[in-house]
Amino acid sequence: MNIQPSVIVWTVICFLLLMFILKNLLFTPVLKMLDSRKEKIEKAEKKLKDIENITSENEKRIAEEKVRAEAQATAQAKEDVQQIQIRGKKEIENAQRKTLADIEEYRSGIKGECDRIVSSVAPEMETAAAIFVKNIISNRI
C-alpha cells in the first residue's frame, strides 16, 4: 500500500466537485426553502397575534356595548314605568272625578225623589197618622 499523490489529488478534486454540485443543487435550494418557510411561519404568527388583538378589542367593545345597551334599556324602562304611573294617576283622578260627579248627581236625584215622595204623601200623612193612633188606642183599651 503506497500513497499515490495522483489518487489523492483526484479524490480531492472529485470531493470538491461533489461539494460544489451538492451546494448548488441541494443545499442552497433547501436553505432557501427553509428560510421562506420560516418567514411564512413568522408572518402567520404575526397575523395570529394581530387577530388575537383585534378579537380581544372586539370582545371589549362588545362588552362595553352590552353594558351601555343594558343601561340604556334600564333607563328607558324606568322612564316608561314613570310615564305609565303618571298616566295611571291621571286615569285614577279622572275616574274619581267622574265617580264624585255621578255620586253628586245620584244624591240630587235621590233628594229630588225624596222631596217628591214627601210632598205627595204629606197631605195623606195626617189622615194615616190619625187612623194609626186610633187603631193603637182602640187595641190597647
Instruction: Write out the chain's pLDDT in tens, 141 residues.
Output: 688 899 999 999 999 999 999 999 999 999 999 999 999 999 999 999 999 999 999 999 999 999 999 999 999 999 999 999 999 999 999 999 999 999 999 999 898 888 888 788 777 777 877 788 888 888 765
pTM passes above 0.85? no
Sequence letter at residue 20: F
pLDDT number for residue 45: 97
What does the pLDDT read at residue 120?
A: 81
SS3 letters across the chain: CCCCHHHHHHHHHHHHHHHHHHHHHHHHHHHHHHHHHHHHHHHHHHHHHHHHHHHHHHHHHHHHHHHHHHHHHHHHHHHHHHHHHHHHHHHHHHHHHHHHHHHHHHHHHHHHHHHHHHHHHHHHHHHHHHHHHHHHHHHHC
**Whose grid coordinates read 413568522?**
42
pLDDT at 140: 65
CB atoms within 10 A of CB 36: 10
**Domain spans of the chain, in order of start:** 8-90
**pLDDT value, residue 128:** 79
